[in-house]
A and B are shown apart, each in its own frame.
Chain A
Amino acid sequence: GAVVSQHPSWVICKSGTSVKIECRSLDFQATTMFWYRQFPKQSLMLMATSNEGSKATYEQGVEKDKFLINHASLTLSTLTVTSAHPEDSSFYICSASRGLPYGYTFGSGTRLTVV
């Protein structure tokens, strides 16, 4: 149980275009979802916390107008990277939680390359 599906697993897009990444909890309802970014040889950096039906809470330094997060249901959250640029190329990972102490389940990640 507790499976999180993330799609797509990789995407290449042109500079200036937008990319949407989906995160779905398949067998549980996620009260909270988190979005992370990871650069090569670095740890995961929390970008934002997403609660169903409310606006996402962004970490300091993360541009909310560039990284649009929508959490429309208890099983789906999306991250849209708007007007992508090469510096946005990274590994994006989502996580879903049913609340403590059940823990957090991670998606398999999305490798974004902006050319």
Chain B
Amino acid sequence: DAKTTQPTSMDCAEGRAANLPCNHSTISGNEYVYWYRQIHSQGPQYIIHGLKNNETNEMASLIITEDRKSSTLILPHATLRDTAVYYCIVISGNTGKLIFGQGTTLQVKP
């Protein structure tokens, strides 16, 4: 399974867009990019996923580079409740395993 690299932590001002980068340079053609977040002492929450194209839903947007080696999760208007650890995960279509890295701790500040 492809590994991902994320910054350890980021800050964002409330109301501003939060852009969380992820590097997955060894991604294969059948591997999806998934984003989850975990708020303290809760189970991870699904945010968004993509294969090749950019995706948008009610929570966020996912921008995947053309070579698929990196992606960016965008929270358009961050709120204090978006403070969490964000995980970028690449999932193999073969194994289907969801392997977590260390993630990015996003702190949204007033």
Contact = CB atoms under 8 A, between A and B. Distances in A.
Interface string A75-105: 0000000000000000101010101110111
B97 A46 contact: yes
Given A105-B46, A106-B43, A108-B43, A100 B93 contact: yes
Nearest to A108: B43
A111 interface: yes
In the complex, which of the residues B38, B51, B101 has the most CB atoms of chain A within 10 Å of its own CB atom?
Answer: B38
What bracket does the count of chain A residues touching chain B fall in? 20 to 34
B12 interface: no
A108 B96 contact: no
Interface string B19-45: 000000000000010101010011111
B interface: dominant SS:
loop
Contacts, number: 55
A25 interface: no
A111 B41 contact: yes
A91 B87 CA distance: 18
A44 interface: yes
Contact of A109 (B42, B51, B102): B42
Contacts of B101: 43
A102 to B, nearest CB: 9
Interface of A: 4, 6, 32, 34, 36, 43-46, 49, 91, 93, 95, 97, 99-101, 103-109, 111
Interface of B: 32, 34, 36, 38, 41-46, 49, 51, 87, 91, 93, 96-103
Given A46-B97, A100-B91, 10 more contacts: A4-B43, A44-B38, A44-B44, A46-B99, A95-B44, A101-B51, A104-B46, A106-B45, A108-B43, A109-B41
